[in-house]
Structure 1
Amino acid sequence: MPQLTDLRIHPVKSFAAVPVEQAEVEPWGLAGDRRWMLVDGAGTMVSQREDPRLARLAATLADPDTLVVSSGDDTLKVGTPDGPLLRVKLFDQAFEAVDAGDEAARWFSELLGGTLRLVYLDEAARRPTETPTSLADAYPLLLTTPASLAALNELIAADHPDDPVKGAAVPMNRFRPNVVVDGADAWAETGWRRVRIGEVEFRVVQQCGRCVMTTLDQETGARRGPEPLRALGRHRKFAKTLAFGMHLAPAGRLGTLRLGDRVTVLEEGPLPTPE
């Protein structure tokens, strides 16, 4: 029987993942997941795509209203802001988020260089998405499975039979999932349309299109070559999407996810066409 074996939140978009034993499910994702984001001087999102060093920044929630960010011996504490709204842009979406203030802006600008500001999404309705979503790229949650990762790593190894470095296995953290479900067959999740994890039901929206962030070492921020994108392009390409993992959205009653929760497939069907 499939079960939830890993649960992760990312308090600041594109910063290091935080493993948790349980998490409340809100209509727009897991509580504490991707409610904060760095933007540049033009208000445009800054992610690991632009600055791989973000992978090394640890952000945690000391309590629901206090964000703590650490870099080496330097620490920043920021309370949930109630300041002015700032016009920001996440990919092609423009909306307003709450500015976290000048102290946070100075801290990040001095640490990383350039002009940076930290913003907070206080209401999902501020972001114009069909499915309520925090500051995640597309949908509230991302689900992956170890069986599919093992199958992908077999494909990577087979594509590089004479080069153990290029054919090295890719760890799960490259894909930055929220929920990891063990006990399912490889790629089974691509046929799931509706699932229950513990007490919470989700609709499975679509496959997740992968980008250059999957080539970054999440411990160091270093680029590690073309994998897994090369293998996904060769073996798991759907339309223009290099797919790994499934986007989820809460469906119906909310609740709490806990490690060890049973995962029940409620509905299966044809694979949605990636956007």
Structure 2
Amino acid sequence: MTSRVIVGVSAASAAVVVGLYLWKKWKSSRKVAEVTQLYIYPIKSCHRMELKTSECGSRGLKYDRCWAIAKKVEDGNRILSQAQYPKLVVVVPELWPLSNGKVELHITAPGMSPLVVPEELPPSSPTVVSDSDGCISGEGQDVGDEASLWFSKYLGIECRMYYMSPSHQPRTSFANTSSLLVVTENALDDLNSRLQTQLLPIDRFRGNIVLRLPEDGSAAGRKYPEDSWTHFTVGSVKLRVQRPCTRCVKTTVDQEEGVLKGPEPLKTLRTYRMYSRSNKILQSRQNGIFGICCAVLEGGTISIGDGVYVPYSIF
């Protein structure tokens, strides 16, 4: 075998080895964060429910935003939001499991007697409900007069309560456009370091999954590594990042008192965390961003303490 042939074979072999290495690196992943908190919001715009573990399907965490309150308007049934009715956030739901695999929704609120809403309802025709921005439009089953009268009395307006079963498979539940909202404690630390007012808790942002990234920035060598994520795994669940979450006036509602508390965090977020589709980050568009909206590629289970893994980049 001539030296030229030997060199050619060696070069080809080296290329194969390098190619296999890069392919393996791309297919593998690294741990970048850990789950520290896990939340669902069984009733849209109402109080959170903290979990230690949760099933996660195509619609997100089980029972997240399966119920909603809506009022009749000229063009249909409009879902009520804490932006217009901030006292909704002090309506506290609890899920009580039953022996038949269903749940009961136990609800309390200041000045109101407790309310129990069964998940299992008599058959009825679904009602289409939507929000004022057209972000949410889904079919919900009216849960009956007792719950509707309870919420009508509490809010001081005529309204109805609707339920969307977790087995129903639209794009999302009554959530705003995405199945899951992921936020980081690191982003909150950065925000709080910039605020001129009192520090804010993570509950202002109503995330489903709260993460803690390494303090040394080793997740990606930058302050907001989640900006560059396209997909990642948490627990046994595979997620795809849809976009950064542009925040609205709901983040100004105190989640324990149910009242609007002024311009923060929106005022400060606008100074350093803005979003545009063209440049993705750090350009002007509406309000600041906080968190990432995610779609579920493959369901499973998520628990506190689970690692978060992103694929290695070839480059």
Normalised by the shorter chain, which TM-score bucket? 0.7 to 0.9
Following TM superposition, by how much is the alpha carbon of 1:268 offset from its aligned partner in structure 2, in angstroms?
6.5
Secondary structure of 1:107's partner?
helix
CA RMSD of aligned residues (A): 1.8
**Post-superposition CA distance 1:152-180 (Å, at most 9, x none):** 11222xxx3xxxxxx22111000000001
More deviation, 95-104/30-39:
95-104
More deviation, 87-96/49-58:
87-96
Is the counterpart of residue 8 in structure 1 residue 39 in structure 2? yes
TM-score by length of 1: 0.87
Is the counterpart of residue 68 in structure 1 residue 106 in structure 2? yes
Amino acid at match of 2:144: G
Secondary structure of 1:41's partner?
strand
Amino acid at match of 1:11: P
Instruction: Indicate conservation of the 8 Å contact 1:210/1:244, yes or no.
Output: yes
1:1-275 correspondence runs (5 A): 1=31, 2-42=33-73, 43-63=77-97, 64-72=102-110, 74-80=113-119, 81=121, 82-90=123-131, 91-92=133-134, 93-122=136-165, 124-125=168-169, 127=170, 132-156=171-195, 160=196, 167-184=197-214, 185=217, 186-239=223-276, 240-241=285-286, 242-252=288-298, 254-266=299-311
Structure 1 residue ranges without an equivalent (≥5): 161-166, 270-275
Please give the alpha-carbon distance, in whole angstroms, between the structure 2 residues aligned to 1:20 and 1:108.
25
Q: 1:7 to 1:95 in 2, by over 3 A?
A: closer
Please give the alpha-carbon distance, in whole angstroms, between the structure 2 residues aligned to 1:87 and 1:268.
43
**Post-superposition CA distance 1:116-156 (Å, at most 9, x none):** 1100123654x5xxxx2111111000101111111111222
Secondary structure of 2:107's partner?
strand
Residue equivalent to 1:273 = none
Q: 1:267 to 1:144 in 2, by over 3 A?
A: farther
Q: 1:86 to 1:207 in 2, by over 3 A?
A: same
Instruction: Indicate conservation of the 8 Å contact 1:195/1:267, yes or no.
Output: no
Q: 1:151 to 1:268 in 2, by over 3 A?
A: farther
Following TM superposition, by how much is the alpha carbon of 1:193 offset from its aligned partner in structure 2, in angstroms?
1.0
Following TM superposition, by how much is the alpha carbon of 1:189 offset from its aligned partner in structure 2, in angstroms?
1.2
Instruction: Indicate conservation of the 8 Å contact 1:193/1:267, yes or no.
Output: no
**Post-superposition CA distance 1:210-230 (Å, at most 9, x none):** 010111110001222111100
Q: Which has the larger radius of gyration?
A: 2
TM-score by length of 2: 0.76
Amino acid at match of 1:32: Y
Instruction: Indicate conservation of the 8 Å contact 1:194/1:267, yes or no.
Output: no
Aligned residues: 254
Please give the alpha-carbon distance, in whole angstroms, between the structure 1 residues aligned to 2:148 and 2:311.
46
Residue equivalent to 1:163 = none
Secondary structure of 1:238's partner?
coil
Secondary structure of 2:152's partner?
helix
Following TM superposition, by how much is the alpha carbon of 1:102 offset from its aligned partner in structure 2, in angstroms?
1.0
Secondary structure of 1:235's partner?
coil
Residue equivalent to 2:24 = none
Please give the alpha-carbon distance, in whole angstroms, between the structure 2 residues aligned to 1:260 and 1:67.
27
Residue equivalent to 1:272 = none
Secondary structure of 1:139's partner?
coil
Q: Percent identity?
A: 32
